[in-house]
Structure 1
Amino acid sequence: MRQIGRWTGLALAIGLAAGLASALFLVSLAWVTTLQTNNWWLLLCLPLFGGLVAWLYQRFGQSVAAGNNLIIEQLHSPDLLGVPLRMAPLVLLGTVLTHLGGGSAGREGTAVQMGASLAARIGRWWRLPQAEVRLVLMMGMSAGFGSVFGTPIAGTIFALEVLAFGVLRYEALLPCLAAALVGDGVVRWLNIAHSHYQVASVPELGSIWAWLIGAGICFGLVSRAFVSWIELVQSRSRRWLPNPIRRAMLGGCVIVIISLVLNTRDYNGLSLPLLAQAFEPQGVVPWAFGFKLLLTGLTLGVGFKGGEVTPLFVIGATLGSALAQLFGLPSDLLAALGLIAVFAGAANTPIACVLMGIELFGSSLLVPLMITTCIAYTVSGHRGIYAAQRVGWAKRQHLAHQTGKRLDELEVD
């Protein structure tokens, strides 16, 4: 009973802390997004904001600059001291500045990093033994992910699945679920709304299964393209501009120029209006996913802060909308499937993503979600947005020799 009481208290504390942090982040993000939308000149300040973010991390945050990869590495080699509390305020400020200037980034990375760093601090206060550090960090990740998207079940499984794809850590199932439910409950109690998108109807499976297979392949290929583009921008920009401040500032200038040439703000920030449009019958322009992918890779690749998941949602939904026009299927159906499947292919977390799809769109979409998500996960190969993620179980037999390695240690498959 003492053990149950201790872990219940930990789940409540971590869920409360992560939920409050996510609430603060969501409110801040909504505020700066409104500012950015109503004041076009803030886009011109993006290079300055990028330089400021790079300076902050160079001066105060070199130990936490790896972000989500630091947390995943700590899950493999647990150490509460390895996830400093400073990660939370730095990633919060860095992400807010990125969005204030119109950088194309998301929110998952920020919420997960805040949740994990706060959980690590609570674990130090609790004086937990080293063997229980992994559980605490996973609880923080679950609470952060579940509370920022309003999907506590997906948040629970995400923390279990992201460590090494093909492997689930079931010992953390109940603690992560409790923390995620508390975190999500805190955000809901504070009346902070999440975006909702509806799928009007799902056609009979027998009439669309071939199109679903084709869509799943496309989603997986775009997941690979997203990861490859970010890796290319990171490697080339670091080689050409070793100074992180200059790199972020010059990268910001490139993003500003592209945005002005495109003559639209649809691809800056979270791009939630573009995401909503993908669910409308008229859909979006067929090339929308490509421009969002381009700007997101530039934003994150040169050192701005924020998550990859919301941009992946937008890329997947707009790609799905474009495919719907090609296949003659409902735009909202393929937008929903793309939103989930492209994320699954890039994050290598198919089970969490299918559950997220059910939480967001309902169980009527289960079979189409499973088809497109599993295909995208397989097609994306041993690539992913989390370089510290391990190959727990190879996706294809001829890649079995890569089992146990980090993704950034692998040759391109």
Structure 2
Amino acid sequence: MARFSRSSFSLENFRQQLANVDALPQLCVLGLVSGVITGALMVGFRLLLETGAALYMPENNPEAFEALSPWLRALLPMLAVSLVGVFLYRQKATARKLGVGHVIERLTYHQGRFPLRNWLNQWWVGVVSVLGGLSAGREGPAIHLGAAASSGLGLKLRLPNNSLRVLVACGTAAGISASFNTPIAGVIFAMEVVMMEYTLMSFMPVILASTMGALVAQLVYGNAPAFSIPEVALGSFFNLPWIVVMGLMIGILAGLFIHISRSQWIQQQPLWLRLGAVGLLTGLSAWFFPQVQGIGYDSVAAALNNQLTVSVLLALVAIKLVLTSLTVAGGIPIGIIGPVLVIGAAMGTLCGLVGVWLWPDKAADPSIFAMLGMAAMMGAVLQAPLAALMALLELTHTPNIMLPGMLAVVVACLTSRHLTGCEGFFISSLRYGLHPLQQPLMQALSRVSVPAVMERSFVRTERMITAEEARKLLETNPVWLIIERSTQEKPVLALRAAELARWLMERDASEGAANDPQEIIDLVEIPGQRLEMAPIALQATLSEAFIRLQNNALGALYVVHGYRPKQRRISGIITRGAIERYYHYTDPRSTDGQDAKSLDHVPLLRMTAANALP
């Protein structure tokens, strides 16, 4: 019977396993833990909203703005923007980045590491924006809080950076799942919008995280669907052309939403003017139409049950769209998915009412168009059709709506993308050229940490050694010699051990050679190619090593292990050839030693995305 030592289950061994691309069991364990943590945080965030609503909202309902006096609901937005201006904008610009866009940015450019200050700011900004009556959702705070907490777990355990990427996706999925009771939509959103890739190694941990997040939330709030939907059916296929027309109109609305949100003219205005305009316009709109405040899920429920007047529907389409996009452009970090669903539901209901007026005998119930409008608007704004369809299914629990839903979502996505020239909301906020998360090569290299491919067979030596010491260095058959320099200003060098062995053999075979074991050898002067090296952390991914080697005139990197300056040690060497061999298949029967050696000197510029499809 096989025995397992305690070291087999050590944290260090767990880290080493996570460095590889096939560490699925370990990632699944992390997904489970991440889901529980994120689910608990989302319950805490919703309780915080309810606690704040208990101060002035009827029945402790954070969305009961209609029951407030006109003066109070008009003043709340001004108070909210004042708090944001005073307490958020006094901080550094980097501390003001919150929400889904911040999550994607940290995943793209910072290996999924999140600043603590931004995470703390997200708590109170999320509460103030929702309870202050701004047109804002809670999914932005949910995703940021969950992703950052999950990443923080990985940092606390000092896990490799490739596992931090998966933890960010786990936190994102669990945050969506726990907030809206939509576990499948949470998974698809994390992969489609945040990770921007679909891989088996990411899917399973994210599914487990989303499941645990939903279970934790259901233990507190139950498992009832978000909306109560009447029994309806599409009826005649005559409705399909009208659904296409609705998709076109919603796609144009989505493009308008993104254009206003990204307006450079608005963003260049003084801060006091932007915040004042948001507060004033929101308060003025709330005086007449309180439905435009907050997330608006109560308005969605009313629209699905045909309980809203035409004037309110028009206000939700026009006013809420302008208010939400203006709030984003004004610099207030809010969640947009909730308001986007409300706008889509209202627009869909209006299209349904027009259909009933034009074709009373064949037109479907307006509530069907409301459901389709929700998915179409979400899909078009985010350019995430699968996430929108899964959200439609889980929010409404109406499977027979999927066929027309696919038609509406695709038409709206195509219209927004090609007719209005808008890409996904979060991509458009980050992209200058090709987004790094959309590059297949960078995706492939980000899935693995450097310990998985680094060369561990090496010895460290000083520059000046005797012939006897040189032979002792070669007794263990190392692949590399790491030549340490006299000062830190001089770069560390790497020399292949074979070069030293060849030089010693030639020296011994030469006529008249003095076979003095104490002869001093200068390892920098003997024939052979030496690689200048720079340090890289053990937790780094191959994508980090790739960029480091690409941007610097370096031949290799030495991997540093240890977290305290005096305890750091070198764990291995990673070369250009090692990175290439990771994603280039080479038949060993057709590759001799000289070819393998030459890979270490091939420029990385010839690595194209076509060679690295995941």
Taking structure 1 as the reference length, the TM-score comes to 0.86
Contact 1:390 1:406 in 2 (8 A): no
Deviates more, 1:375-384 or 1:275-284: 275-284
- SS of 2:221's partner is coil
Asked if structure 2 preserves the Cα contact closer than 8 Å seen for 1:33 and 1:99, the reply is no
Shift of 1:305: 3.5
Is 201-210 or 126-135 further displaced after alignment?
201-210
Structure 1 residue 256 displacement after superposition: 1.5
Q: Secondary structure at the match of 1:266?
A: helix
**Corresponding letter in the other structure for 2:39:** G
Kept in 2: contact 1:64–1:70 (CA 8 A):
no
Equivalent pair of 1:87/1:114 in contact (CA under 8 Å): no
Identity %: 24
How far the C-alpha of 1:91 sits from its partner, in A, is 1.4
Comparing 117-126 with 72-81, which one deviates more in the overlay?
72-81
Partner letter of residue 258 of structure 2? V
Number of aligned pairs?
390
* CA gap 1:180/1:338 in 2 versus in 1, 3 angstroms: same
Give the 5 Å matches for 1:9-408: 9-33=29-53, 35-36=56-57, 37=65, 38-40=67-69, 41=72, 43-60=74-91, 62-67=93-98, 68-81=100-113, 83-163=114-194, 167-191=197-221, 195-204=226-235, 206-232=237-263, 235-241=264-270, 243=271, 247-260=274-287, 263-281=288-306, 283-285=308-310, 286-288=313-315, 289-328=317-356, 329-361=364-396, 362-381=398-417, 382-387=422-427, 404=435
1-side partners of 2:195 and 2:331: how far apart? 25
Indicate the larger mover: 265-274 or 22-31. 22-31
Deviation at 1:144, TM superposition (A): 0.8
Pair 196,323 (structure 1): closer, same or farther in 2 beyond 3 Å: same
Whole-angstrom CA distance in 2 between matches of 1:12 and 1:64: 30
Alpha-carbon spacing, 1:364–1:194, altered in 2? closer, same or farther (3 Å)? closer
Deviation, structure 1 residue 369: 1.0
Give the aligned residue type for 1:376. A
Q: 182-191 or 167-176, which moves further after superposition?
A: 167-176
Distance change (3 Å), C-alpha of 1:283 and 1:58: closer
Aligned residue for 1:196, secondary structure, equals coil
Aligned partners of 2:38 and 2:175 also within 8 Å: yes
Distance 1:360 1:46, change over 3 A: closer
1:58, 1:79 → 2: CA distance?
26
Contact 1:145 1:152 in 2 (8 A): yes
**Residues 205, 10 of structure 1: alpha-carbon distance in 2 compared, 3 angstrom cutoff:** farther
Deviations 1:236-263 (A, max 9, x none): 333221x3x6632442123223333xx2
Please identify, of 59-68 and 69-78, the stretch whose mean Cα deviation from structure 2 is larger: 59-68
| Residues 403 and 273 of structure 1, relative CA distance in 2, 3 Å threshold | same
Deviation, 1:55, is 3.3
Alignment-mate amino acid for residue 161 of structure 1: E
User: Greater CA deviation, 128-137 or 250-259?
Assistant: 250-259
Q: Who wins on radius of gyration, i.e. which is larger?
A: 2
CA deviation after TM superposition for structure 1 residue 49, in Å: 2.4
Name whichever of 23-32 and 286-295 sits farther off.
23-32
Name the structure with the higher helix share.
1
CA distance in 2, matches of 1:177, 1:255: 38
CA distance in 1, matches of 2:226, 2:389: 18
Work out the CA distance in 2 between the residues paired with 1:290 and 1:31.
31
- Greater mean alpha carbon deviation, residues 377-386 or residues 365-374: 377-386
State the secondary structure of the residue aligned to 1:124: helix
Give the Cα–Cα distance (whole angstroms) in 2 for the partners of residues 388 and 320 of structure 1: 25
Shift of 1:283: 4.4
Structure 1: give runs of 5+ residues left out of the alignment. 392-400, 408-413
- CA-based RMSD of the aligned residues comes to 2.7
Distance 2:300 2:395 in 1: 14
Which of 100-109 and 62-71 deviates more?
Answer: 62-71
2:319 and 2:186 mapped to 1: Cα distance?
Answer: 28
The worse-fitting range, judged by mean Cα deviation, of 35-44 and 138-147 is 35-44
Instruction: Give CA-to-partner distance per residue, 1:105-135, whole Å, 9 cap, x none.
Output: 1111111011111011111012111222211
* Greater displacement, 67-76 / 173-182: 67-76
CA distance in 2, matches of 1:30, 1:72: 29
One-letter identity of the residue aligned with 2:377:
V
Give 1:224's aligned amino acid.
G
Relative contact order: is structure 1 or structure 2 higher (C-alpha 8 Å, sep ≥ 6)? 1
Structure 1 residues 61 and 179: CA distance shift in structure 2, 3 A: farther
What amino acid is aligned across from residue 355 of structure 1 in structure 2? Answer: M
Task: Describe the shift of the 1:390–1:46 C-alpha distance in structure 2 as closer, same or farther (beyond 3 A).
Answer: closer
More strand, by proportion: 2
State the SS of the aligned residue for 1:269: coil
Shift, 1:4, TM fit: 5.2
Using the TM superposition, give the Cα deviation of residue 54 of structure 1 relative to its aligned residue in structure 2, in angstroms: 3.1
**CA deviation map 1:5-50 (0-9, x unaligned):** 5333312221112111211222333454563535442531422321
| Alignment-derived partner of residue 398 in structure 1 | none
Deviation of 1:79 after TM superposition, in Å, equals: 2.2
Whether the 8 Å CA contact 1:164–1:390 is kept in 2: the answer is no
Distance, in Å, in 1 between the alignment partners of 2:301 and 2:121 is: 30
Partner residue, 1:410: none
How many angstroms apart in 2 are the aligned matches of 1:299 and 1:336? Answer: 25
Structure 1 CA distance for aligned equivalents of residues 343 and 281 of structure 2 = 20
Q: Offset of 1:345 from its aligned partner?
A: 0.4
2-structure distance, mates of 1:31, 1:39: 17
Gaps of 5+ in 2: 1-8, 15-22, 58-64, 357-363, 439-614
Change (3 A) 1:404 1:247: closer
Tell me the residue number matched to 2:534: none
The 1:215/1:16 distance shift into structure 2, 3 A limit, reads: same
Distance across 2 between alignment mates of 1:176 and 1:264: 40
